[in-house]
Amino acid sequence: MIFYYTIYLLIIQVLATYTRFQQICFHVFCWNKTGTESPQKNLELLFLCQISKTEETFYSLSMYLFVLGRNVPLSLAELKPYGDPVFCDEELSLLLLEQPKIPNPRELPKIPEQVLLDRLGGTIRIAEVIGEYFETEKLLTAIKSQILASRKEGYTFSLGLTGYELSTRAVSAWAQELKQYFQDQDQKIRLVNPDGEPLTSGRIFQDKVLKKGTEFIIWRNKNSFLLAKTAANQNLRNYELRDRKKAFRDAKMGMLPPKLAQILVNLATEGSEDGSVIDPFCGSATINIEAGLMGYKTFGSDLNPEFVEKAEENFRQMAEKFRYDPETGTFAASNVLGLDWGSQEGVVATEGWLGENFVESPDSRQIDENKQTILKLWEDIFKSIKDAPITRLAFCLPAWNYKGKKISISEEVLRAAVGAGFTVQPLSEKNETLFYERDKTFVAREICVVAR
């Protein structure tokens, strides 16, 4: 133990002497997977020197718990550039991640955790790990200390507890015990979920829990409890503004969810702080808007001149609402194959064309016709960009649900990408591509990434 302690002190001294960091924060946390209490395995050391900030990027070396969305593999693929995963429970949609990289090129006046979450489409909440505890008494004492440190005199503190691998009865009992403790000291506490039911992001947002108090997440692992304090929660109002409140929407085109647009931009840019994002099938500018919000320059084109005009209108409307520079986006009416790809330097993030928007389940003939048309389109696209300064593409292909199976064209399209000098970037250990779909849809989106 003393050996490791000495090593960390030496690291701090070196970083403080030879780096530009204004703050260095080490939070070394070892998740006890065996469930046995051991001084060597239950290691928790905290070294804190000032606030961590460079000119444009926050770097935190703490441990965080990410609450992921329903499509866990896709969430993990999106998070790859942002930090080192420690442990993931896909069934619970929970990820422990250390050293998250948090780009902030627009220098937004928000806490780093919220800056990161606002960039992510596949993560619901981010919570900072407080510690691991082997006794309930110590767990509740830690929560009490956190509340005392953050509550304001004269205000009612909103307390939410969310448990994983815990019964609602146990969580409810702890919540009542905590409330009674503070009431005995004449301090006001409001329980957000006295029944112990897990809080949703919607409930946290609507009840303004993080403004009036906090949510603690307790994750039981055999004989220990991991305690984390929620630092950032999805802003559902902002998603609604960027989706349903856009000046122009066209259901006939199919509507790309802003969260999926964020994922595509992140897969294309790999979390970089600058660059240009190109969408040659821009539609209503959903991807361009998300790229603008992240601080990128962006170019959008579409075959329909009217759509292009409306896309630029959407981009400028959202620039006014979210205060990004409207001049970072440019748009043009063009066939994807007619673009001057030689002048388009950057990465491509696009939903592409998913074929006909079926109102009922397509038959085999309809699927085959769409399949051949879209396959030919992508083969021609890769021929067009073979010598262009395009370094990476994140794109969607249609996968038709037919008689309990998915009919995919990804193998043929990726073969064309390789022929144009690109390399397929697998999105998980098991799969090169991943699917994104809603219930009872006729066509799923198959997400692919290639790079060179």
CATH number at residue 443: 3.40.50.150
Domain check: are 228 and 371 in the same one? no
Domain check: are 97 and 201 in the same one? yes
The lowest-confidence range among 80-84, 368-372, 407-411, 443-447 is: 80-84
Count of domains in the chain?
A: 2
Domain check: are 313 and 404 in the same one? yes
pLDDT, position 240 = 93
Residue 119 confidence (pLDDT) above 70: yes
Parallel/antiparallel/unpaired status of strands 443-451 and 390-402: antiparallel
Domain that holds residue 51: 2-233
> Do the Cβ atoms of 151 and 213 come closer than 8 Å?
yes
Parallel/antiparallel/unpaired status of strands 213-221 and 224-233: antiparallel
Domain check: are 18 and 57 in the same one? yes
Average pLDDT on 68-94 reads 95
Closest CA to 346 of 305, 288, 398: 288
The whole-angstrom separation of Cα 69 and Cα 438 is: 13
Q: How confident is the model at residue 11 (pLDDT cuts 50, 70, 90)?
A: low
Closest CA to 394 of 339, 435, 336, 351: 351
Closest CA to 210 of 193, 227, 236, 233: 233
The whole-angstrom separation of Cα 445 and Cα 157 is: 43
Final residue before a domain boundary, out of 174, 203, 233: 233
The whole-angstrom separation of Cα 119 and Cα 235 is: 11
Residue 234 confidence (pLDDT) above 60: yes
Domain check: are 258 and 364 in the same one? yes
3-state secondary structure (DSSP) of residue 212: helix
3-state secondary structure (DSSP) of residue 208: coil
The whole-angstrom separation of Cα 114 and Cα 394 is: 25
% pLDDT > 70, the chain? 85
3-state secondary structure (DSSP) of residue 411: helix
Continuous segment of H or E residues that includes residue 330: strand 329-333
Domain check: are 216 and 344 in the same one? no
Residue 148 confidence (pLDDT) above 80: yes
Residue 138 confidence (pLDDT) above 70: yes
The whole-angstrom separation of Cα 85 and Cα 73 is: 13
Final residue before a domain boundary, out of 233, 259, 278: 233
pLDDT, position 420 = 97
The whole-angstrom separation of Cα 208 and Cα 223 is: 33
pLDDT, position 2 = 40
Domain check: are 207 and 267 in the same one? no
Residue 13 confidence (pLDDT) above 60: no
Q: Which residues contact 43 (CB under 8 A, 6 or more apart)?
A: 1, 4, 28, 29, 30
Query: In this structure, is the dihedral angle defined by the CA atoms of residues 58, 62, 63 and 67, taken in order, positive or negative?
Result: negative
3-state secondary structure (DSSP) of residue 436: strand
Mean pLDDT taken over the chain: 87
Q: Which residues contact 23 (CB under 8 A, 6 or more apart)?
A: 49, 50, 51, 52, 53
Domain check: are 198 and 245 in the same one? no
pLDDT, position 436 = 97
How many other C-beta atoms can be found within 10 angstroms of the C-beta atom of residue 386?
14
Phi, psi of 161 (to 5 degrees): -125, 125
Model confidence pTM above 0.75: yes
Residue 254 confidence (pLDDT) above 90: no
Q: 271-309 pLDDT, tens per residue?
A: 888 899 999 999 999 999 999 999 999 999 999 999 999
- CA distances 314 to 264, 283, 285, 319, 321, Å, are 19, 10, 7, 8, 11
- CA distances 60 to 24, 33, 57, 230, Å, are 8, 24, 10, 16
Domain check: are 43 and 120 in the same one? yes
> Do the Cβ atoms of 346 and 276 come closer than 8 Å?
yes
The whole-angstrom separation of Cα 112 and Cα 118 is: 10
Which neighbouring-strand residues pair with 133?
A: 225
Final residue before a domain boundary, out of 188, 211, 233: 233
Domain check: are 268 and 371 in the same one? yes
Residue 1 confidence (pLDDT) above 50: no
CA angle 95, 69, 119 (to 5 degrees): 85
DSSP label at 64? E
Closest CA to 296 of 282, 278, 283, 280: 278
The secondary structure of 134-161, three-state, reads: CCHHHHHHHHHHHHHHHCCCCCCEEEEE
Place of tokens 């691991």: 132
Query: In this structure, is the dihedral angle defined by the CA atoms of residues 263, 268, 272 and 273, taken in order, positive or negative?
Result: negative
Helices 286-293 & 236-243, crossing angle to 10 degrees? 140
Both structure tokens of 364: 């085999």
- CATH number for the domain spanning 225: value is 3.30.2130
Domain check: are 33 and 66 in the same one? yes
The whole-angstrom separation of Cα 125 and Cα 230 is: 7
Domain check: are 206 and 269 in the same one? no
Q: Which residues contact 176 (CB under 8 A, 6 or more apart)?
A: 191, 194
Q: 338-364 pLDDT, tens per residue?
A: 999 999 999 999 999 999 988 889 999
